Structure 1
Amino acid sequence: MHIGKILLQRGLITAEQLDTAEHTPQTEAAPGEVFVRLGYVSEPEVLKALAEELGMRYEESLLGPLDPKLVEGIPPKLVFDRQIVPIARSNGKITVATANPLALDGLDELATVTGCDVEPVVSPREQIAERIKKLFGVGADTVDRMVGDQFGGVEVLREGARDESKEDLLEAAADASLINLVNQILIEALESRASDIHIEPFERQLRVRYRIDGVLHDAGTPAQIKMFQAAIVSRIKIMANLDVAEKRMPQDGRIMLRVAGREIDVRVSVIPTLGGEGVALRILERGSTHIGLSELGMEGDDQARFERFI
């Protein structure tokens, strides 16, 4: 199926634009992505045209219920790798959203894993990514991989075990998957414009919360993250140049990050609790200490009224 010809027939691009796109190196996996990258069409326009050509339904927004039963028996790795997400499930049929309806291998794999019939609908990638995050939680694919390989031979450090050596903790904290997981937690906080990250240990749960606009919000991390509690705390200690082996005394440190060109200062507090060590991270972006009234999100009339009072 030639997506360029479909767009041309629908009047979404010109013959000249089609010729330019065909002579442009294409590394994108998504159909029609080159036309979006060149600025000829938007992603929704491409997906709508493709869905109509294939006789499939197009869903601009994925606002359906977030029932945990939707993902029962579905490996997070499959969902993250294939970028398909369930939106409905009943009577042996799963309806999934995809931004690439031509990639049938992911749909076939889902049908094999679940034993259900799979009905695809077409949706924008941003909508799919957001729904995946809400259903599976931050870092779910990384945690799933870590559970599967058990740190590639390094013993998983469970809370309650008091005989971990400093070397074990350092080795676990240096694992690539663990580093990626901690990075995901930090990046998600930055993208959410969070001012604080709270990593709170309980007997059967490790809860991660972000403070956004003064209110704490659950990050929705997968339940299995509890298995890696000690390693996560150790990784943060290493980043903040704290003593990994010290678990009985509070520690304070600092992490300097550069993310997408932004310099971020993270103040770290590690606090012993009954459930293990808890961590509080205060995020301070350099150069953002002073902001104008226009950046507070007030409407024009409200801002003018406020300025009169001050």
Structure 2
Amino acid sequence: MTEETSSASAPRSIRYASDAIMAQLARDLVRESKISQQQLNELNTRQALTGDSIDRLLIRESLLSESDMLETLSRITGIPFMPIARFQITPEIVGKLPARAALRYRAMPLAIEGPALKLATSRVPDQASADSLRMLMGGPVNWVLCTESDVEQSLKHFYGLGAETIDDAIQTKDQQEVSLQETDLALDTADPGVVRFINQLIFEAIKLDATDIHLEPFETRTRLRYRVDGLLQEIPLPRGIERVQKSIASSVKIMAQMNIAERRKPHDGRIKVKAGNEEFDLRVSVLPTRFGETVNMRILSRQSMFIDLEHLGLMDSQQPLIESLAILPHGIVLLT
């Protein structure tokens, strides 16, 4: 058993993730009648096939709410369970843990308690992860269990959308940077890290039911906005994104089959994406500005774009006429 601290003044013994912790979780849930022995047997069979832990399977199979599971794990491990909303998180606190480490370990800084940093996690940390973060921080780490949605939303809000991807892209750019102007176009071809960030940007917009994406460069920063329910909402971006803004614009132009060599004229193009079982068309516009190229994308669901004639509300006598006009090689139908 390893000694940790739950606050700066009161030491508290905690237990890290292990097979014994998961076994005790299962026993306690059965004893408290939160799951049945038959359900546990089925979970054990599924665990043997998939290799997933019991706590993940419980949530995935909707056998237990995440809050109930975390409360039980908190009692077993000694790690407190509480909502992130109780903490007042400041930029100083967030700056204590680099974005790469926060996103790798899915850990959100919550507070500074003397020499210790309090971190939120949605899963009980294992010994190796705890030791790695302790060495990285150069001091003790206190843990808090929070729901996965709390942790993920906080990471996205404070570190920005696609922070890890942008960090990788910046490192790649630093390795490739040269002073010769002739190599500029080579640096702006579609970088895998930048393309991955663009995909994250698009799918996050689709998840929020956004209709438009606006990526706008300014002198010292880059702004990302989604239009949701008719209103533009600014989305946090990771620090340093302005260093790869040119690469982002060029990658979007490549994806939309535009000419990346021409940066002084407006461009229009199209990108087709698939999210789950639904397909989307993105109408892309790239416009030159003083500080770089702005990227605007209109998101159109292909399922909502195409409507059958029978769903237009035509009268029975009108539909055959419209169908006969539709097969003509040219012409126009005017509705007045």
Quote how far apart the aligned CAs of 1:15 are: 1.7
- Pick aligned residue for 1:199 from 215, 224, 237: 215
1:133-176 deviations in Å (ceiling 9; x for gaps) = 0110001011122233437x43389xxx9755433322xx1x22
8 Å contact kept, 1:73–1:113: no
Amino acid at match of 1:129: E
Aligned match of 1:57: 80
Aligned match of 2:185: 166
Find the residue that maps to 1:20 and give its secondary structure.
Answer: helix
Percent identical pairs in the alignment equals 30
| Counterparts of 1:215 and 1:94, CA distance in 2 | 37
Amino acid at match of 1:70: I
Asked which structure has the greater CA Rg, the reply is 2
Quote how far apart the aligned CAs of 1:4 are: 1.3
| Counterparts of 2:104 and 2:52, CA distance in 1 | 12
8 Å contact kept, 2:47–2:54: no
Query: How does the TM-score come out when normalised to structure 1?
Result: 0.83
Query: How does the TM-score come out when normalised to structure 2?
Result: 0.77
- Pick aligned residue for 2:121 from 81, 88, 98: 98
Aligned pairs, how many? 284
8 Å contact kept, 1:44–1:60: no
Quote how far apart the aligned CAs of 1:290 are: 9.5
| Counterparts of 2:178 and 2:203, CA distance in 1 | 24
Amino acid at match of 1:274: R
CA distance 1:92–1:30, change in 2 (3 Å):
farther
Unaligned regions of 5+ residues in structure 1, if any? Answer: 292-310
Aligned match of 1:307: none
Unaligned regions of 5+ residues in structure 2, if any? Answer: 1-19, 308-336
1:106-157 deviations in Å (ceiling 9; x for gaps) = 2332222222321111112121111110110001011122233437x43389
| Counterparts of 1:268 and 1:67, CA distance in 2 | 36
Find the residue that maps to 1:58 and give its secondary structure.
Answer: coil
CA distance 1:79–1:29, change in 2 (3 Å):
farther
Aligned match of 1:251: 267
CA distance 1:131–1:156, change in 2 (3 Å):
farther
Aligned match of 2:165: 142
Quote how far apart the aligned CAs of 1:189 are: 1.2
Aligned match of 1:45: 68
Is 1:260–2:260 an aligned residue pair? no
1:88-115 deviations in Å (ceiling 9; x for gaps) = 2242222211122242332332222222
CA distance 1:166–1:75, change in 2 (3 Å):
same
Query: Superposed, which structure 2 residues align to 1:26-45 within 5 Å?
Result: 26=48, 27=50, 31-45=54-68
| Counterparts of 2:51 and 2:94, CA distance in 1 | 28
Is 1:87–2:110 an aligned residue pair? yes
CA distance 1:131–1:186, change in 2 (3 Å):
same
Query: Superposed, which structure 2 residues align to 1:184-195 within 5 Å?
Result: 184-195=200-211
Find the residue that maps to 2:258 and give its secondary structure.
Answer: coil
Is 1:219–2:213 an aligned residue pair? no
Quote how far apart the aligned CAs of 1:235 are: 0.8
Find the residue that maps to 1:23 and give its secondary structure.
Answer: helix
Is 1:232–2:248 an aligned residue pair? yes
